Structure 1
Amino acid sequence: MRPLTADSLRGVWATLLLPLNADDSIDFGRLESQLATLAGSQVDGLYAHGTAGEFQTLTEDEFDRINSLLAGAGKPFQIGASHPSAQVQLSRVERAATLAPGAIQAVVPDWLPLNERELLEFFRRVAGAAGDVPLVLYNPPHAKTQVGPRQLAGLAAAVPTLIGLKTAGGDKAWFDEALQSGLALFVPGHFLASMSLLGAHGSYSNVAALSPDGAVRTADDLDVERRIGEFFEAHVAPLQKAGLSNPALDKFLAAVGDWADVGTRARWPMQSATPEQVEAARPVARRLLPELFRDSW
């Protein structure tokens, strides 16, 4: 596809989630079915291998096979080439670039934090490996190296193919500073409506895990955002407090939304939500958030 730019990277993007068999192998039949549903949805694009895609668990053969399917889906797409090892990530970037995605998402290597010189050298080399394919920095709150808003402008100037940032966002002061970088700022789906008013440009959306089309339809609805917060407080926060990982939480949301056969199983050694937790949440989601579900349209 045509490379994205900081100006064209916009909207609600949905992630692929790994449907797993009992032995933790990927059920590629169910993955292709999920991909077909997402390709026919209203989301602005698709991506693979973020945190919710359990990228750190993938073999290189699994990574390549998923990328091939994603590239053939007929929808704008980005590839997460992330890996805790800089060396493995560089290899993933090189292979991902051959599929001509709109952008490649990268994380800062995660075993030890990098200083500013190391951070710059990392992104320069990744950019060289990506060639004409632009980069998006994935910098979640749990990353060892936190790239603050003051660093973004310098990083963007030094690496011209860096076009976007996936971040938890912040307050008005944070956005005012981060926007000086010229990067497209992507925030969590359950904060997109309010953070768009501060300058956010889109979301790699956890709300799309609950309902892909619903996430698009309600992207700027502050009242729906408030009610999503109520639902998360009642049914997601307790799972977080119990120690469930972000991949497990996104699969829980997909099971509650019931738009694809993803399943709740997260790859070993991560825990998974239970069928009982899903069944308890479904009627609450539909009562609080009818705008998200097709049967209410």
Structure 2
Amino acid sequence: MQTLTSRSLTGIWSPLLLPVTMSESIDFDRLDATLETVLGTGVHGVYTNGTASEFHTLTEAEYDRLHELVAARCSAAGMPYQLGASHPSGQISLARIRRAVALRPGAVQIVLPDWLPLRPSEVLAALGRMAEAADGVPLVLYNPPYAKTQVGPELLARIADELPAVIGIKVPGVAVAKGLTDRLSVFVAGHTLATAHREGAAGSYSNVSCMSPAGAVRWFEQMRADPPAAAELEARLRAFLDEHIAPLAAEGYCDPALDKTLCAVGDWATVGTRVRWPHRSVPEARVAALRAAAWRAVPELLTDPAGGRLPAPGAGGGGGGFFYTL
């Protein structure tokens, strides 16, 4: 596909959540079906191997199989896609970058090597080496609040100045990239997007898309057409997350478990709530009450990709990088 730029990288990008079997293998049939559904929702792109996609659990064989599937399906559908080459090991990340760019995605997402915090000079050196491995495919830096190396405004400005291969970044908020939104595509957590969009954010790698890809797209369109209404929806969405999802985080459930729970709440795919070892999965039995609460809070998000209403709470149906730590 055509490579992305800091201008063209925008909108709602949906993660590819991993359906996990009882034996903790990836159910690639369900993964393919989930991807097919996402491709019909109107999202602006698909990305792989973020936190929501449990990138740190993949074997190299799983990594390659998943990316071959995504590249083939998205290319056939004309859907922009980014392939994540992230890994806590910089050496493994370099190898993943080289294999990802052979599939010619619009961009490659990366994280900084994770075991030891990096000094600013090491950050620049790491990104420079990754850019060389990417062979002309642009990079997007994922820097969540729990990354050991936090990229602040001063260092981000140096990245923008010295590394043109880096076209975008996912950060906790636009303040980190103050003054740089005209040079970098700044993405934020999905549930903060209406506020951040007014401050120059280009889009989100979206936890809201986990709950409803089509609903997230409609909300993004509302941000441009009716900002006050979009802000009001954000307030209700945040209240739902604070009251019903944040307590799960406080119980110790990891972000991928919460993202899959949102998918089950939205009831648009059969991903399920199971995450891979060593993390705990949110019990399916908790989904029904969460779904009912979501319907009360943000019913306009809970529609299927074709625009029809999902089954009302209690009427049955499958149960299927969210910064919950902000």
TM-score, structure 2 normalization: 0.88
How far residue 152 of structure 1 moved from its aligned partner, in angstroms, is: 1.2
Match of 1:87 among 91, 95, 119: 91
CA contact 2:188–2:204 (8 Å) conserved in 1: yes
Amino acid across the alignment from 1:184: S
1:240 aligns with 2:249: yes
TM-score, structure 1 normalization: 0.96
CA contact 1:290–1:296 (8 Å) conserved in 2: no
CA contact 1:210–1:253 (8 Å) conserved in 2: yes
Match of 2:80 among 63, 76, 90: 76
| Structure 1 gap segments, 5+ residues each | none
1:100 aligns with 2:104: yes
Rounded Cα–Cα distance in structure 1 between residues aligned with 2:20 and 2:66: 13
- In the other structure, the counterpart of 1:23 is 23
> 186-195 vs 145-154, which deviates more?
145-154
CA contact 1:231–1:288 (8 Å) conserved in 2: yes
Rounded Cα–Cα distance in structure 2 between residues aligned with 1:179 and 1:194: 15
SS at match of 1:185: strand
SS at match of 1:218: helix
- In the other structure, the counterpart of 1:110 is 114
Instruction: Spell out, residue by residue over 1:110-146, the C-alpha distance to the aligned partner (whole angstroms, 9 max, x if none).
Output: 0000111111111111000001100000000000000
SS at match of 1:72: helix
CA contact 1:15–1:52 (8 Å) conserved in 2: yes
Alignment of 1:1-297 (within 5 A): 1-73=1-73, 74=77, 75-171=79-175, 174-179=176-181, 182-219=183-220, 220=223, 221-294=230-303, 295-296=308-309
CA contact 2:174–2:201 (8 Å) conserved in 1: no
How far residue 276 of structure 1 moved from its aligned partner, in angstroms, is: 2.0
SS at match of 1:234: helix
Rounded Cα–Cα distance in structure 1 between residues aligned with 2:260 and 2:284: 11
Runs of 4+ in 1 over 4 A off after TM superposition: none
Identity score, percent: 51
Rounded Cα–Cα distance in structure 2 between residues aligned with 1:287 and 1:161: 44
CA contact 1:175–1:198 (8 Å) conserved in 2: no
How many matched pairs? 294
Rounded Cα–Cα distance in structure 2 between residues aligned with 1:192 and 1:256: 20
CA contact 1:93–1:104 (8 Å) conserved in 2: yes
SS at match of 2:83: strand
Rounded Cα–Cα distance in structure 2 between residues aligned with 1:138 and 1:169: 12
Amino acid across the alignment from 2:84: G
Instruction: Spell out, residue by residue over 1:7-47, the C-alpha distance to the aligned partner (whole angstroms, 9 max, x if none).
Output: 11000000000100001000000000000001111100000
CA contact 2:15–2:47 (8 Å) conserved in 1: yes
Rounded Cα–Cα distance in structure 2 between residues aligned with 1:100 and 1:215: 27
CA contact 2:216–2:301 (8 Å) conserved in 1: yes
Instruction: Spell out, residue by residue over 1:61-85, the C-alpha distance to the aligned partner (whole angstroms, 9 max, x if none).
Output: 0001110111012211001100000
How far residue 178 of structure 1 moved from its aligned partner, in angstroms, is: 4.1
How far residue 170 of structure 1 moved from its aligned partner, in angstroms, is: 4.7
Amino acid across the alignment from 1:208: S
> 155-164 vs 101-110, which deviates more?
155-164
Rounded Cα–Cα distance in structure 1 between residues aligned with 2:152 and 2:215: 31
> 94-103 vs 153-162, which deviates more?
153-162
Amino acid across the alignment from 1:185: V
